[in-house]
Amino acid sequence: MPSTTTLIAYVIAAAIPAFAVYLIQALDLFQTAKFRTLLICVLWGAIGAFGLAYVINKGVIEQLMLAGASRNDSLQVVVRLTAPIIEEILKALILIYLIRQPSFRYFVDGAIYGFGVGIGFAVIENFSYIGASSNAALALAASRVLSTSLMHAMASAIVGISLGRLRRSKARLLPVVGILLAISVHVIYNNVVNTLTGTALLLVAITIGLGGAGFIGLQISQGLNQEKKKFTQTFGKKSDVSEGEVQTIQRLGASHLEEMMQQLEETLGDANIALIRKMLVTQANIGILQNNLDSGNVSPRLRKAWEEEIAERRAEFLQIRKELDRSVMGYMQRMFPTDDQEMWEWLQEEMAHYDPTMVHTFDMFMKTSGLAQSFTPEQLEAMAESLSRIGIFKNVSLADLENLGRAIKVQEYKNGEMLFDQGDEGDAMYMVEEGEISIFAVDSRGREKPLRTFGPGSVVGDFAVLDGQPRSARARASGSLKVLVLQRQMFKMFIQSRPQVILAVLEVLADKARFTTLSVEESIHNLSNLAQGDYAAVAQLDVLPLMAPAPSAQPTRESAEPEVTEVSNVHSSLKQAFATFARKLQGREQEARTRATS
Amino acid sequence: MTIAEELKKFPLFKSVELNELEALASMMQQQSYPQGAVLFEKDQPGDAMYLIRTGRIRVFLRDPQGNEITFRHFGPGQVVGEFALIDDKPRSASAEAAEPLEVMTLSREHFLALLRERPILGVEMMRNLAERVRYTTNYLEKLFSAINLLVNSEYEQAIKEMSITTDEDEIQNLINAFVQMVTKLREREAALNQAALRSEDKGI
């Protein structure tokens, strides 16, 4: 039966290291290390590594004694030299295995797992020492917990850190250096504690132990700073000149941010990365909108809309923050501190390249191009009103249209000057201010046949900003012409980060598409009635109410693509034609029948 | 074929990247209906799109007398009610399972959530839809001129105006119906004229 003191000694030897493992797990700010993996490490240290080391150390002693050495000499050789080598290698085995696993992402993981292995090993080793010297058990337990345990933990943590760094580094020798360092620490420690005695021993041992723990902490902190420095460099502007051209060329094409995201993904995992991406986009947009507000001489309506969006985005940001592990958030704050203005500016630019469909690149462009300054706030407000009278924009909010209006340019054409030719890419929409636009069909011999004329207040090419289809006719100025031009490029840039605008335009298009579809179905129905000789039903078409509901009538600006006629017009004229045709057929057949029977 | 690949075949999603469509596909739900089951009635709020896996959907309207007019049958790989995703307008026609039916449905709510996450999806849909409206309107105009030619019995010219093949199912159906009608009309007219001629011969 072990005495009470021995029992207490066991408890100390087990509980304190266990607490240390718990502590380091809790302190793992980034929580990328998995608790289960940590447990496996502790168990490997305690059972696998210690068990094997016990057998091997014993074997070495036996071999040395067989070779003629005294028991004490053999023991000294093992304790001072072979045991540290063997034990460090055995403890490292699990880490070498883990480095290939996805749960081992970077050096902080390595430090934690290494710490676990070392503690596991030390607990059992301490148990064996306590068991062997029951009279001084308590003192032994206390001193070993603070010294040997920490030494074991530190040595393996060094190996873990070196392996973890290997993931991001090309220095293949790093792990070898790590293991050699761990072995050296262990050898030195064992030699020191076997040479010194009494209080000196205790002091030196504890100093080494605690110093080691501090050293690991320092390593982690330093590693994180390096990580931050690397990201800062990745952002480009400050990138090392000495990095050499090769690397610069390799980087061309690939976004720096993409590179950074890949690194982060290794560190934090897919799920967190998706959230971080969202968070960076949200942050970038808040910054962009803030810039809009700061630089803008804009109407109160637009200002209010921007302020509202900022508030919305802030709420979104807080939501993402809630979803992100608190630990990951800690990492992000260290990497991307909110007060680092310069960094956030790069980040916005980088985000705009990396994720252009989410970031308000339009607003960034407005700021850098100076285009936004060409209209007064009052003019923009008026512009928004006219844009909203164009069919495709009728559901878009006035504030959004006002923002979009900033990209509009005034252009003047002389009489007869061409705006676009048949077959040209549909790259812009024109709103006539003064003068007229004449549309011509061009035949194969190049002769122009006038189709239509558009006067002040009308729109030409509104569909072009949506689909960019080639122009189906030629457009010329008739008289001196002044138009407002919206480039398709600008429109695309504007909408791509604004789902609400996209949806508003989609609604109008769906409405039209619904109507054309029904119009086609109705026509098929009429055609088959006619084919079956049922003329009466079709002849009634222009009298009966519409089968298909017409798109909601709305006072819209006279708007047309030279090639896209308002669908409802086509529909009603088509119905007329069907009815006329059916009556004609009725007449013809009637006549033929009369002739046949006369 | 994966659901995303199936989606890619629809005009609405034609130019949307496959990985965007995978996100969309992951939000779809499997549902089955026995033959004769009603999927939705005209004027009900439209809140979902149906992608047919097996079976057929009949889309119909009721005329003022209450007779059902079948507009179209939709079969495997075809989609019904796609516009319900974009606006919550009432259904413009009724739909029922013409055969035991298995569909994947996508709700408007899910679609809107995805659109907020990936606006690019909407941009592509916008382009497709605009092209489609433009294209279909063009064809309806062609039909208009063809009918006007028929009024003056210019059959050859009218056929020439219309008979072009197209990738769009919707338009191809229209062309087929048109050609069939013209053929039938000419047969009938020829028969009548012959009868008239015979009777006139007898008359002489």
Cα separation, A288 vs A294, whole angstroms: 10
Mean pLDDT on A236-250: 37
Q: Do A510 and B150 touch (CB under 8 A)?
A: no
Query: Is A432 in contact with A454 (CB distance < 8 Å)?
Result: yes
Three-state secondary structure call for residue B102: strand
Chain A residue nearest residue B134, CA to CA = A564
Question: Nearest C-alpha of chain A: how many angstroms from B34?
Answer: 26
Chain A residue nearest residue B62, CA to CA = A547
Between the alpha carbon of residue A347 and those of residues A249, A255, A408, the distances in Å are: 21, 11, 28
Which of B42, B110, B133, B173 is the best residue to mutate to test the A interface, defined by the most A CB atoms within 10 Å of its own CB? B133
Instruction: Supply the pLDDT for residue A482.
Output: 94
Cα separation, A371 vs A381, whole angstroms: 16
Instruction: Supply the pLDDT for residue A3.
Output: 74
Instruction: Supply the pLDDT for residue A232.
Output: 63
Instruction: Supply the pLDDT for residue A469.
Output: 87
Q: What is the DSSP string of A285-328?
A: HHHHHHHHHHH----HHHHHHHHHHHHHHHHHHHHHHHHS-HHH
In which element (H, E) is residue A487 found?
Answer: strand A474-487
**pLDDT, tens only, A273-293:** 878 888 888 888 888 898 888
**pLDDT, tens only, A147-178:** 788 888 889 988 988 888 776 667 778 888 88
Mean pLDDT on A93-118: 81
Name the least confident of A182-191, A352-361, B33-42. A352-361
Q: Do A598 and B203 touch (CB under 8 A)?
A: yes
What distance separates the 2 farthest-apart alpha carbons in chain A?
A: 141
The answer to whether B43 contacts chain A (CB < 8 Å) is no
A205, exposed or middle or buried, with CB in 10 Å at 0-12, 13-18, 19+?
buried
Higher pLDDT, A296 or A477: A477
Query: Is A439 in contact with A453 (CB distance < 8 Å)?
Result: yes
Structure tokens at A498: 């604004």
Share of chain A above pLDDT 70, in %: 83
Q: Report the number of secondary-structure helices (H) and strands (E) in chain A.
A: 24, 7
Give yes or no for residue B103 having a pLDDT over 70. Answer: yes
Average pLDDT of chain A?
80
Question: Nearest C-alpha of chain A: how many angstroms from B36?
Answer: 22
Q: Residue A327 — very low, low, confident or very high, per pLDDT cuts 50/70/90?
A: low
Question: Nearest C-alpha of chain A: how many angstroms from B43?
Answer: 11
Chain A residue nearest residue B125, CA to CA = A506
Length of chain A: 598
Instruction: Supply the pLDDT for residue A120.
Output: 92
Give yes or no for residue A548 having a pLDDT over 50. Answer: no
Instruction: Supply the pLDDT for residue B121.
Output: 82
Query: Is A474 in contact with A421 (CB distance < 8 Å)?
Result: yes
- Residues in chain B with CB shorter than 8 Å from the CB of A571 are 140
Give yes or no for residue A562 having a pLDDT over 50. Answer: no
Give yes or no for residue A563 having a pLDDT over 50. Answer: no
Question: Nearest C-alpha of chain A: how many angstroms from B67?
Answer: 13
Query: Is A178 in contact with A128 (CB distance < 8 Å)?
Result: no
Q: In this structure, which long-range contacts are made by residues A369-372, counting pairs with CB atoms below 8 Å and at least 24 apart in sequence?
A: A371/A406, A371/A407, A371/A409, A372/A295, A372/A296, A372/A406
Instruction: Supply the pLDDT for residue B184.
Output: 87
Give yes or no for residue A554 having a pLDDT over 50. Answer: no
Chain B residue nearest residue A461, CA to CA = B134
**pLDDT, tens only, A135-147:** 666 777 777 777 7
Sign for the CA dihedral angle at B140, B146, B152, B155 comes to negative
Q: Residue A246 — very low, low, confident or very high, per pLDDT cuts 50/70/90?
A: very low
Cα separation, B106 vs A343, whole angstroms: 41
Share of chain A above pLDDT 90, in %: 23
Which of 89-148 (B) contact A at CB < 8 A?
A: 89, 92, 112, 115-116, 118-120, 122-123, 125-127, 129-134, 136-141, 143-144, 147-148
Name the least confident of A4-8, A134-138, A237-241. A237-241
Q: Residue A1 — very low, low, confident or very high, per pLDDT cuts 50/70/90?
A: low
Alpha helix locations (H) across A101-173?
A: 107-132, 137-146, 148-166
Instruction: Supply the pLDDT for residue A135.
Output: 66
pTM of the model: 0.69
Question: Nearest C-alpha of chain B: how many angstroms from A544?
Answer: 10
Higher pLDDT, A247 or A8: A8
Minimum-distance CB partner of A528 among B86, B177, B193: B177
The answer to whether B88 contacts chain A (CB < 8 Å) is no
Structure tokens at A264: 């982060």
Q: Do A589 and B192 touch (CB under 8 A)?
A: yes
Instruction: Supply the pLDDT for residue B155.
Output: 83
Query: Is A435 in contact with A480 (CB distance < 8 Å)?
Result: yes
Query: Is A186 in contact with A159 (CB distance < 8 Å)?
Result: no
* Pairing between β-strand B57-62 and β-strand B48-54 as defined by DSSP bridges: unpaired
Query: Is A177 in contact with A200 (CB distance < 8 Å)?
Result: no
Q: Do B123 and A496 touch (CB under 8 A)?
A: yes
Minimum-distance CB partner of A523 among B69, B118, B143: B143
Question: Nearest C-alpha of chain B: how many angstroms from A279?
Answer: 12
